[in-house]
A and B are shown apart, each in its own frame.
Chain A
């Protein structure tokens, strides 16, 4: 950890609002969502408050200090091993009783602790009132009320943290487990006292050893004198099991829950009726066993229709802006290679990607609304039956849903899965979810080849195809590569709430910055490289002498205009004569433009990119793709949007300079493309190799090059097979 005067760890149950409070304290913009498992790793931020330099560490949610999943291990390691100066336990007040279990475990750890009763507004709406002063007295620690999403109570919390940290001595908390257990705890504590280099509190360590906590066992195995201690612990566990009639860890948990229940009854006044809340009423419809799934698909269909239809207008404005800039540069710069690089390479490539910013923002607006309202957790719930059928459970669907935004957090989000087999399967199928980077590709092709009334449904079909393919591949992987029993799914349903404008606007802003940053770095670099590869070598052999052909056209026009027009036709009227001349001039211009196009196209075909494209073309011809698409697909392994920028550059370079058209227009004019090819290309882009960032994360999360290579290979082969099936079937059916 970085040096600071005070290290503050934010701990708590999943979805208790830790990241929201972290953002409030540090001014960061960490991703937050109204469902468990958004944070899967520690994050740090600084804040200077009342003369204290605070290093604030946001931790993944955990229900207890006995970690099951990898994100819980991260939280536990920070709390236990890194020993922050003070722990702030964020509690979801609307679920106070359950949240207090972790608080009791933290108290037993004998670390300075502050409780933040978060979401008190939600609790009060449910009729639950909590006496924080009584709670503070009962537990012997400071308790502060906060409402994270309204940024209320943050300063009080920080003030309390500073005071608690400066307090010379903390009142120790001891939970009485009853005479039989206490006797064994005392016995083990005494034995531990003789061991040196024990870095944990002795009573806590004794409890954990009696609970047979595997991580603690591993940590103390290296201590001298462990073998004698181990014998004592095993003897004590056997005695307790006989006395209590159950495993000690179960008995300990029951005692803690009993204590939690006592505290809760003393400090909380629940509303008289525990009848159906509004959330329950909404859930009875949205998670209905029959309507739940169709509603989920309906919501997604609506989202993609909005993304396309509403996004179309600002996209057109941006496109006009990009074209105006391109025209301005073309007019104001002298003809040169640098001008071509700027106009065709930079504006043709980056400009074509930037125009999709409104669609991306609308997609993230939709995702943010679904996340913040709490619907995402319901989506996981309704997908549970489908996921269970393929050997996974609904919890696996949460990372997959994250994949609609970006596959990288989706792959990292698999850390919430406790079973390594489930995690591997989910990692392998996560890239099949259409991330936002693929949206520009889909939007471009949909707008170019499908009528407006169908466009939203076409987009939706590609997204849903990805989900269905992920489910089928998960089934296949579960049956072949990772067989084993599936586990029960327990997931908390957070209450619905209205998202705050601040949270939505922040997410939109963050996404815009990230997208533009990517356009200005990786996509810019790729566009420049593609321009060089499509423009060099400078001298390429042509099939005919274009200069001579152009001169021939000029000559023919001059001769027609001077000799043939007035005399043989015998036209006397000047205006008719002018009209005929204009017609001939238009023919001349068309012929010259066609020659320019042919020359540019031939130059492009003989460029380095063209040579490479033609080399790989035979492998993609059966899918209806030509070499240009091939070059685009190879370059888009870096990032999927690069397919659009590469096509933008290739079509800018390959078209006549006199009459530039939009990328969508250029694609429509290209005889290679048809609605069928466009759909096959969307399917291929959806399935084939994860982007570089996703491959890197797969490598890290699996700790294996083998699985990274497998992910690349299987997805590319699968993309080829499915795009082949789509194209050949479509051709056979006459599309």
Chain B
């Protein structure tokens, strides 16, 4: 039983970590609501423009 719990915790941690890394690398985390003061959640979502702005 303990082994199953440990596997579950490890898999959840790995999944979350991998998900975070993937979102970062694929630029899904463009708003970065969690760590930035420049963009935040409002109206139930993270609102930032999706365009690439560097000309």
Residues of A within 8 A of B (CB): 2, 26, 28-31, 39-46, 55, 70, 73-74, 336-338, 341, 402, 405-406, 408-409, 412-413, 415, 420, 423-424, 514, 517-518, 521-522, 524-526, 528-529, 532, 638, 692-693, 695-697, 699-703
Contact = CB atoms under 8 A, between A and B. Distances in A.
A695 B34 CA distance: 15
A23 to B, nearest CB: 10
A547 B4 CA distance: 29
Contacts of A336: 2
Nearest to A507: B37
B35 A518 contact: yes
Interface of B: 2, 5-6, 9-10, 12-14, 16-17, 20-21, 23-25, 27, 29-30, 32, 34-40, 42-43, 47-49, 52-55
B32 A692 contact: no
A74 B40 contact: no
Nearest to B5: A338
Contacts of B39: 41, 43, 409, 412
A43 B42 contact: yes
B30 A697 contact: yes
Given A42-B49, A336-B2, A406 B36 contact: yes
Contacts of B40: 28-31, 43
Given A514-B35, A521-B16, A699-B27, A341 B9 contact: yes
A577 to B, nearest CB: 46
Given A336-B2, A337-B6, A44 B35 contact: no
A529 B18 CA distance: 11
Contacts of B32: 408, 693, 696-697
A41 B54 CA distance: 14
Contacts of A638: 17, 20-21
A529 B20 contact: no
Given A45-B42, A337-B2, A701-B53, A696 B35 contact: no
Contact of A529 (B10, B23, B42): B10
A532 B10 contact: yes
A55 B10 contact: no
Nearest to B20: A522
26 contacts: A39-B38, A41-B49, A43-B39, A44-B42, A45-B42, A45-B43, A337-B2, A337-B6, A341-B6, A402-B37, A406-B37, A409-B39, A412-B39, A514-B35, A518-B34, A522-B17, A525-B14, A525-B16, A529-B13, A532-B10, A638-B21, A692-B20, A692-B24, A693-B29, A700-B27, A701-B53
A514 B29 CA distance: 16
Contacts of A524: 13
A514 B34 contact: yes
A44 B20 CA distance: 25
Contacts of A337: 2, 6
A699 B27 CA distance: 7
B13 A528 contact: yes
**Taking chain A's interface residues, is the majority helix, strand, or loop, or is none over half, making it mixed?**
helix
Nearest to B26: A696
The interface residues of chain B, by DSSP majority, are classed as loop
Interface centre among B2, B5, B6, by most chain A C-beta atoms within 10 angstroms, is B6
B55 A525 contact: no
Nearest to A71: B53
Contacts of A696: 23-25, 27, 29-30, 32
A43 B6 CA distance: 42
B55 A420 contact: yes
A696 B32 CA distance: 9
Nearest to A338: B2
A524 B10 CA distance: 11
Contacts of A702: 54
Given A26-B42, A525-B16, A696-B30, A408 B21 contact: no
A409 B34 contact: no
Contact of B47 (A44, A73, A406, A693): A44
A70 B36 contact: no
Q: From B9, B14, B36, B47, name the one whose CB has the most chain A CB atoms within 10 angstroms.
A: B36
A147 B12 CA distance: 48
B43 A693 contact: no
B9 to A, nearest CB: 6
Q: Which 6 A-B pairs have the closest CB atoms?
A: A409-B38, A31-B37, A703-B52, A528-B13, A408-B36, A692-B24
B45 to A, nearest CB: 8
A74 B54 contact: no
A44 B43 CA distance: 7
A522 B6 CA distance: 18
Give the one of B9, B12, B32, B53 with max A CB within 10 A. B53
A31 B38 contact: yes
A525 B43 contact: no
Contacts of B17: 522, 525-526, 529, 638
Contacts of A517: 34
A525 B49 contact: no
A704 to B, nearest CB: 8
A44 B49 CA distance: 11
Contacts of B25: 692, 695-696
Given A2-B43, A338-B2, A526-B17, 14 more contacts: A30-B40, A44-B47, A46-B43, A55-B43, A337-B6, A408-B32, A420-B54, A521-B34, A524-B13, A525-B17, A638-B20, A693-B32, A693-B34, A701-B54
